[in-house]
Amino acid sequence: MPFRLWMALVCFAITVLLNATVKAQNEPPKPAEIVVNGSGGAQEAGSKKAFFEEFEKRTGIKVVATSPPNFAKLAAMVKAGSVEWTIAELDIEEAIRAEQMGLLEPIDDKIVDRSRFPGEARTRKYVFSRAVYSTVMGYRTDAWPAGRGPKDWKDFWDTAKFPGPRAMQNRPVDNLEFALLADGVAPDKLYPLDVERAYRSLDKIKKHVAVWWKTGAQSAQLLIDKEVVLGTAWNGRYFAAISKGAPIHVEWNQGSLKESAFVIPKGAKDAYWGQRLFAVMTEAKLQAVYANFATYPGLNLDSIQFTDPKIAPQLPTHPANLPRQFWQDARWWADNGAAMEERWAKWVIAK
């Protein structure tokens, strides 16, 4: 081997060794475990399979999962200066409220690469968007053949053209947006929501809604049991039903996209290692593993190419589906959600 080449290889090896040494010196001590508080169920099982086991293999740190999510407990722990969780799952609106209340550690973009995340998920300072889901329209294909049923919320509201009982969630979230879209508001002009106009629109469909569903399981089951012919549900609920043979068609047009959030509580003692877990969770191939298991994809847009081709078209981030939907304004709901819930509770029971 020529001397110059030998020297170059030696210098390269020394540089790599020094960089690794510096990195190790800059890292805080490794704890035996970190704690991730989440919603349990399929989310926890999918996270363990896709992310937690990989993190444990790379770092030697065990990931302990607890549930359920609890915003009030997170706030109390931070204020008491005794934080049990390294990472916590919150609704995106709750996560933004926690940010506004000063309860969170910032995301370290030097560790967590979100460059392939879309929209605000790429730049949220205190919130890690761990997955995305969509509230979409679904209908029975024995009522209308696939592709020949309602194509947007204006059609959903058109009970003459598309007759039959409907189902919608018993919450204002999504429904206010859908009501405005039905009334002709363009998706990119939704926010701030014109609440009065939304309720005037909702008044027109109210008597045709046979069931205001309260759980995700109920939303799809109503179609399976033929209690309704047309409804709304989270995309994963429809996918699960369709995969078992239910005659349901999903209409992605004007679906409402939402982020599922992870945060690091302020004062978490192993916050650095929480950031390192977030870094693992940004990786496209690992997000594909999660999507294949849980049918809720991560936000790395490159992950779709690694997802099972039978599952990918059923995900909200598939290139054929994503541009047809709109991103819900989580900050608007964080600021106005409590008032909207109060008004909805009165409206939905009024005759």
Question: First vs last Cα of the chain: how many Å apart?
Answer: 89
What span, in angstroms and rounded, lies between the C-alpha atoms of 221 and 269? Answer: 43
pLDDT tens, position by position, 228-285? 999 999 998 999 899 999 999 999 999 999 999 999 999 999 999 999 999 999 999 9
Query: Which of 178-192, 271-285, 286-300 is predicted with the least confidence, judged by mean pLDDT?
Result: 286-300
- pLDDT score for 309: 96
Burial of 240 (0-12, 13-18, 19+ CB in 10 A): middle
Region 63-84: mean pLDDT is 97
Homologous superfamily of domain range 135-256: Periplasmic binding protein-like II (3.40.190.10)
Q: Which amino acid is at 209?
A: V
pLDDT tens, position by position, 15-57? 444 444 434 447 999 999 999 999 888 789 999 999 999 999 9
Region 156-173: mean pLDDT is 98
Give me the chain's average pLDDT, please: 93
- pLDDT score for 41: 82
- Give domain limits for the chain: 135-256
Whether the predicted pLDDT of 12 surpasses 70: no
44-52 contacts, C-beta under 8 A, 24 or more apart? 45/293, 45/294, 46/290, 46/293, 46/294, 46/296, 47/290, 49/289, 49/290, 49/293, 50/286, 50/287, 50/289, 50/290, 50/293, 51/277, 51/280, 51/281, 51/286, 51/290, 52/277
- pLDDT score for 312: 95
Q: Sorting pLDDT into bands at 50, 70 and 90, what band is 217?
A: confident
pLDDT tens, position by position, 304-348? 999 999 999 999 999 999 999 999 999 999 999 999 999 999 999
User: In sequence order, what E strands does the chain have?
Assistant: 33-37, 62-66, 87-91, 128-140, 166-169, 209-213, 230-234, 248-263, 326-327
- pLDDT score for 150: 98
- pLDDT score for 4: 59
- pLDDT score for 42: 79
pLDDT tens, position by position, 101-144? 999 999 999 999 999 999 899 999 999 999 999 999 999 999 99
- pLDDT score for 284: 98
